Amino acid sequence: MPPRSLPHKPDCVLVTGGAGFIGSNFLLRMVRRYAELQFVNLDKLTYAGNLMNLHSIERESNYTFVRGDVGDLELVSKLFARYQFTSVVHFAAESHVDRSIRAPLAFVQSNILGTVTLLDSARRHWDGQMDTCRFLHVSTDEVFGALGEEGYFTLASPYAPRSPYSASKAAADHFVRAYANTYGLPIIISNCSNNFGPYQFPEKLIPLVILCALDRRPVPVYGKGENVRDWLHVEDHCAALEKMLTHGAPGTTYLVGGSSETSNLDIVRLLLNLVDEAMGRAPGASQELITFVADRPGHDFRYAIDARQTQKDLGWTPSYSLEAGLRQTVNWYLTNQDWLNAVNDQSYQAYLSEQYSI
């Protein structure tokens, strides 16, 4: 069971990358739930950052948006001095493996240097008051590398990143722990499995499939589609992050998974059936859209998380089954055409053509 009282009661929370997929879902959950807290969203608004995600809270009195780069030390220091943050929830990151293969230095700049900039600002401004502060770093299960057909990532799993993206996140994790050990920074790390749900930019598999199915165009699947992922609905992830922020123990790493292991091909088939159902098409009508493309270099075979310790320590369990979560996600994309049309622009079309040759 979770503790009955809040061991950490923040006054002002810096949320980095809050216009992105997971960050915006976190803010949508937290801003109205904690009206007495101030939330400051620092986001650079790269291609995947979208203020449309936050339209419903943009006028709330306890929410402020600042456009800027987490790697801008002068800006970050000024924000710490102005708002006196007692908590940081750090989402800001380049997160797409395919893009990291094409442009790895951007991932070093954002994911490593950006994280260290935040850490250093926090340790300077929190000097003498570490006990009342928290730095929650949102990471990924990909830092642990790849699994075979059996086994799970646990807190004892060694780091073995295999892509520029996962290497940059692993390096960031190491810096976060180093600042805890060296400076006493009150850090918490979350390593989560693949997220899905509303507001996800359609370079990732699930929204990509939905968009392609709606437009009746080829649905690209790497290799034979045999790679396995553990899927976690973003609302469940944000519920876990809320508990980490308010009840998490400093210095702790929490593993967050959805217990929904599925191959990529099976996910694609299920999604196509759900789109057909929602669109009133004949059952199986969109299966012919599946198009196998050349596999991603160094494609990790399987990820799977053992989240039992997190469930025990935080009193958290995922609320969505895989099919229920996918159905909710499909319905969200179908009923938010303005959002979908805004991201489905010429640059996105060019990316699809270049990445998959379709």
Nearest CA to 197 out of 184, 186, 210 is that of 210
State phi, psi for 98 to the nearest 5 degrees: -60, -40
Which position among 63, 83, 152, 165 bears the catalytic label? 165
Residues contacting 253, CB < 8 A, separation 6+: 155, 188, 189, 190, 191
Q: Return the structure tokens found at 217.
A: 């165009």
Between the alpha carbon of residue 335 and those of residues 278, 327, 338, the distances in Å are: 11, 12, 9
Asked whether 62 and 32 are in contact (CB, 8 A), the reply is: no
Amino acid at 304: A
Query: Measured between alpha carbons, how far is 343 from 158 in angstroms, rounded to an integer?
Result: 37
Which position among 43, 69, 141, 306 bears the catalytic label? 141
Let me know if 141 is a catalytic residue: yes
Handedness of CA 326, 328, 329, 333 (dihedral sign): positive
Query: Measured between alpha carbons, how far is 174 from 333 in angstroms, rounded to an integer?
Result: 36
SS3 (DSSP) at 254: strand
CA angle 40, 46, 48 (to 5 degrees): 90
Edge to edge, the sheet with strand 261-263 lists: 194-196, 228-233, 261-263
In terms of DSSP bridges, do strands 228-233 and 261-263 run parallel, antiparallel, or are they unpaired? antiparallel
SS3 (DSSP) at 292: strand
Let me know if 165 is a catalytic residue: yes
Query: Measured between alpha carbons, how far is 237 from 141 in angstroms, rounded to an integer?
Result: 13
- Residue position matching structure tokens 């943050």: 85
Which position among 94, 142, 242, 300 bears the catalytic label? 142
Q: Annotated active-site positions, please?
A: 141-142, 165
